[in-house]
Amino acid sequence: VNTVFQDYALFPHMNVRDNVAFSLMLRKVGKAERNRAAEEALEMVKLAGYGDRRPGQLSGGQRQRVALARAIVNKPKVLLLDEPLGALDLKLREQMQEELKDLQKTLGITFIFVTHDQGEALSMADRVAVFNAGRIMQIGTPEDIYRRPQTRFVADFVGSSNILPPAFVQGVLGVAKWASLRPEAVHVIKAGGGASALTGTVTSRSYMGSTTRLGIELGKQRLHAVLPSSGDVPAEGDRVTVGFSKDALHLMENGE
């Protein structure tokens, strides 16, 4: 098992090639062989030709690639990545996410990726484990974790979710259990003249670029909805009718 940390921990007095080959040097691998292996690893992380540079001459993203090359140079069976992209800006982080996925497929080894970024976990993983206070709350595919959370903690922690109490769910499904409802599954139209059990008032409106997030008061229950900004989005204070498919309600095992 080799590890990549958020702090690159590169030796500033060594060039990139020697940083990557350091573990091979400790294992008494010959210089020619370790240099060949280091150059091969650098090529895999798209840093071919950077071997003679010092870490201080590299950008943050390039230093992260060097740390990654150092971790894969001796061909581990498992690579542990502990918040490796946390220090990078958004666009570079997204680029590195794609590169890490491609690298994992090329190497054919297991990557264990530790992150507090739920979006990062969902977009990168084949399987996700959600932890709370050192306990595994749920393990599954990204879709399972997002669409079928087993507990309130998972539903609330991974993405954004409306957590609906048993009294509300009883009125909709006839079952008194906690349920989760993702905001994008909530349909909102401006209220007409007819009465509706799910008519409420828009109390908050947050523009987020391609989408707009609404907070809606439905009597004692508050719902959040996410709508395309390109559509007819109700304004704050508007009366609206709210709907959702019963299939969009996911019953949870417990309310913890």
Percent residues over pLDDT 90 in the chain: 73
117 and 192 both lie in a single domain: no
Q: What pLDDT does 253 receive?
A: 74
Looking at the structure, tell me whether residues 115 and 168 fall in a common domain.
no
**Out of 46-50, 74-78, 189-193, 197-201, which region has the weakest mean confidence (pLDDT)?**
189-193
Least confident of 11-20, 97-106, 245-254: 245-254
- Are residue 90 and residue 174 in the same domain, yes or no? no
Q: What is the CATH number of the domain that holds 8?
A: 3.40.50.300
> Does pLDDT of 191 surpass 80?
no
How many angstroms separate the CA atoms of 231 and 36, rounded?
57
Which of 126, 147, 173 corresponds to the end of one domain? 126
45 within domain boundaries: yes
The CATH number for 207's domain is: 2.40.50.140
Q: How many domains does the chain have?
A: 2
Q: Assess if residue 150 is contained within a domain.
A: no
Q: What is the pLDDT of residues 20-38, one digit of tens each?
A: 999 999 999 999 999 999 9
Average pLDDT over residues 4-8: 80
- Structural domain of residue 74, as residue ranges? 2-126
Residue 141 maps to a domain? no
Count Cβ atoms within 10 A of the Cβ of residue 49 and give its class: 0-12 exposed, 13-18 middle, 19 or more buried.
Answer: exposed
- The domain boundary residue, chosen from 102, 126, 150: 126
| Residue 108: inside a domain | yes
Which of 126, 146, 171 is where one domain is finished?
126
Residue 228: pLDDT band by 50, 70, 90 thresholds?
Answer: very high
pLDDT 10s digits, 155-189: 999 989 999 999 999 988 888 999 999 999 999 98
The answer to whether residue 23 is domain-embedded is yes
Q: Does one domain contain both 122 and 13? A: yes
This prediction's pTM: 0.80
DSSP 40-95: HHHHHTT-TT-TTS-GGGS-HHHHHHHHHHHHHTT--SEEEEESTTTTS-HHHHHH
